[in-house]
């Protein structure tokens, strides 16, 4: 006898679960991404030193552009990323665009 409280599941109804990606796949991607970001930061800081003439002003400009880019990216892509069926692929495409 089944109780009225006990849920029943139909065989054709399944819950959507996000795909699990192994850490050994994601960790090198994040490491490479961080390395590229650091390389860009050093290159832009050196370039801005030629314009501003001081490393403090150059560092401030790089930091301001970086934080502005994070804010704009979160505003523009935040909702799209949450709805993406494959967020890791979206991340890889965005990193590729940044590299170009």
Q: Where are the domains of the chain?
A: 23-99
**pLDDT for the residue numbered 68:** 93
Query: Which H or E run includes 99?
Result: helix 87-99
**Per-residue tokens: 90:** 């979206």
**pLDDT for the residue numbered 24:** 83
Rounded-to-integer distance, Cα 20 and Cα 34, Å: 22
**pLDDT for the residue numbered 71:** 92
**pLDDT for the residue numbered 8:** 52
**pLDDT for the residue numbered 64:** 92
Query: Which H or E run includes 65?
Result: helix 55-83
**pLDDT for the residue numbered 72:** 92
pLDDT tens-place string over residues 6-35: 555 555 555 555 567 778 878 888 888 889
Average pLDDT over residues 28-44: 87
pLDDT tens-place string over residues 46-95: 898 888 888 888 888 898 998 998 899 889 888 888 888 888 888 888 88
């Amino acid at each position: 006898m089944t109780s009225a409280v006990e849920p029943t599941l139909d065989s054709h109804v399944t819950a959507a679960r996000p795909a699990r990606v192994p850490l050994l796949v994601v960790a090198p991607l994040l490491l490479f991404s961080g390395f590229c970001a650091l390389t860009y930061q050093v290159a832009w800081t050196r370039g801005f030193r030629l314009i501003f003439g001081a490393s403090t002003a150059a560092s401030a400009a790089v930091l301001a552009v970086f934080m502005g880019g994070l804010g704009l990216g979160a505003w523009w892509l935040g909702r799209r990323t949450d709805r993406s069926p494959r967020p890791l692929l979206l991340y890889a495409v965005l990193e590729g665009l940044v590299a170009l």
